[in-house]
Structure 1
Amino acid sequence: MENSQALKVGDKAPAFSMAASGGRTVESAALKGQPFVLYFYPKADTPGCTKEACGFNEALQAFEQAGLSVIGVSRDPVKKLDSFAAKYNLTFPLASDEDGHVTEAYGVWVEKSMYGRTYMGIERATFLIDAKGDIAYIWPKVKVSGHVDAVLAQAQAVGGAA
């Protein structure tokens, strides 16, 4: 399933409202006027996703100093996200997109293959949304190593310009 309407830098970021860890709700409307990082990951409490989440959590203060919040998104149910957050002391919201509307709107629900089997899943990707609600930067097909540092450097440039 190819996404022909792939989002590009400069596009308006798709709106969202999702239940999140810690009894929170994350909504794009509530973030209006402030830049934020929206990162998509395949599955809570798996090695790569844990490394990425812990990396964002460790850098959270630096993101906040740059005026940005961080939101992680997967299709896991909130109960699983709460367990994941508690296990690793993750303080930023982990949002649940169980119905898949947000992952599809951002074009990260893709066909994947492993061991010769194809299936649908979330492609690890990160979006930097500016204060106007536009996409300022996209990291597609993310490799976890060094990713948080790259996002932070770009976020500091966008946050400073907000």
Structure 2
Amino acid sequence: MTQPSRVMARNSESPWISLAEPPFIRIAAGRRVLADEWQPLLAWTALTLVMAASWNRLRHHAASCLIMAPDARMALSGAHDMRRVVRGTLPGLPRLSLSMCKTRVTAMNKRLMCLLAAGAVAAGMAMVPPAFAEIGQGAAAPAFTAQASHAGKDFKYSLADALKKGPVVVYFFPSAYTGGCDIEAHAFATEAEKFKAAGATIVGVSADSIQRLDKFSADPSYCAGKFPVASDSEGKVAALFDVKMSAAVPNATDVRGEAIEHGFISRSTFVIGQDGKVAAVFSSEADHLHPQEHVSKSLAVVEQLKAGKTP
């Protein structure tokens, strides 16, 4: 039978992805990883295998404890015959040493408990949610496109197009019109001319709707029309960079008192060289950075790139 050919597809938001991937595999930043919904099944499978191995060991030790001849095994049935085995009154079977049985049972229990403990550890490790670790320095930055807003006007942002002009600072932030994000946006806007002098451009990415970002990008107190911000409401762009996105918080509101109905992307910044490779990564969660430090550190990196130095 002729094997079906492997079909490959490429879209604007992800690297090459095989359409023939099994359902328990997902692609994250070009790497195959176990899909989240399959991890509990993996955990229970591991636990079941360990329990099955434990049961086989139990049967083996029980048989060795009885020291039975083949014909005597066939004669055993129920608790009554078991008592006759211990007393030595079952025809063809010698009297058992109770101390020998106790010793073997104790050893059997210890081995069984060790196997069960190993099974619990294996299952626990399998059920731990995958840790999100942003793609690191030197990795190829995943190309993406997204609906974005610049000075209140919508357009389609393309990282590939932006890289043709020079290095790009892609910074992910949780939400427009919230304390830390407002500080960060204002700092990027204030330093925008310095980034431009270094030949770099800036783009912010959040899960905000494009309507919220239209206002945020034009607000003179924040982005001030100095750089675009892209909408990643489903977290697809964040997933390409392996950046964590948490669920929406019920009844959350921004500094204006308006409802925040979207999820929150972790604050992370990627400085991408014109060669398309990640020159530096900064994370508030991993590096314990203040929002404003993302700006100063990113600026230092793009200035190093302009000077031909390795960050």
TM-score, scaled to structure 2: 0.47
More strand by share: 1
Q: Which residue of 2 aligns with 1:55?
A: 187
Q: Which residue of 2 aligns with 1:147?
A: 294
1:137 to 270, 280, 287: 280
1:40–1:74 contact (8 Å) kept in structure 2: yes
SS in 2 for 1:108: coil
- Where do 4+ consecutive residues of structure 1 move more than 6 Å? none
Cα deviation 1:71-109 (Å, max 9, x = unaligned) = 000011111001112223232000111121111111222
2:188 is the alignment partner of 1:36 = no
Q: How far 1:123 moved relative to its partner?
A: 1.1
SS in 2 for 1:139: strand
- Alpha-carbon distance in structure 2 between the residues aligned to 1:36 and 1:137: 11
| Structure exhibiting the larger radius of gyration computed from Cα positions | 2
Any gaps of 5 or more consecutive residues in structure 1? Answer: 115-119
1:66–1:155 contact (8 Å) kept in structure 2: yes
SS in 2 for 1:161: coil
2:266 is the alignment partner of 1:123 = yes
1:46 to 169, 172, 178: 178
Identical residues among aligned pairs (%): 32
More helix by share: 2
SS in 1 for 2:203: strand
- Alpha-carbon distance in structure 2 between the residues aligned to 1:23 and 1:127: 23
Inter-CA distance 4–79: structure 2 relative to 1 (3 Å threshold): closer
Question: Any residues of structure 2 matched to 1:2-151 within 5 Å, and which?
Answer: 2-3=130-131, 6-21=134-149, 22-33=153-164, 34-88=166-220, 89-111=224-246, 121-141=264-284, 142-151=289-298
Structure with the greater relative contact order (CA < 8 A, sep ≥ 6): 1 or 2? 1
Any gaps of 5 or more consecutive residues in structure 2? Answer: 1-128, 250-262
TM-score, scaled to structure 1: 0.87
